Amino acid sequence: MGGPFRAGRFILRRDMADTLIVSVSGLRGVVGTTLTPDVAVRYAAAFAATLPPGPIVIGRDGRTHGPTFAAALREFFTSAGRDVIDCGVAATPTVGVVVREERAAGTITDHSARTI
């Protein structure tokens, strides 16, 4: 297995690198390994199934994988007949304001505090 390794600002045990963590705050994983656009879309599909009609707001931070995940989510939601409001790079509170102002059904964000 080997010892700990650095993933961004976190030090992970080697056995944790192959783990996808699903919690009330969302998904956490290693992008490209346990957390892929396909995994995010499957999670989003389950989330969307619980929502009333209405648009879905997408927001993200500036990490390099953000556009790829946002594009996969946009494609999924629009193919499922949902309108999508893509905030691009936006802070979580800003996304929350957009949800309220647009009376959106829900939101998915990709942020360091909350990963899709």
- Number of neighbours of residue 32 by Cβ within 10 angstroms: 10
Measured between its terminal Cα atoms, the distance across the chain in Å is 27
Q: How far apart are CA 11 and CA 108, in angstroms?
A: 26
Respond yes or no: is residue 112 known to be catalytic: yes
Q: Return the active site residues.
A: 112
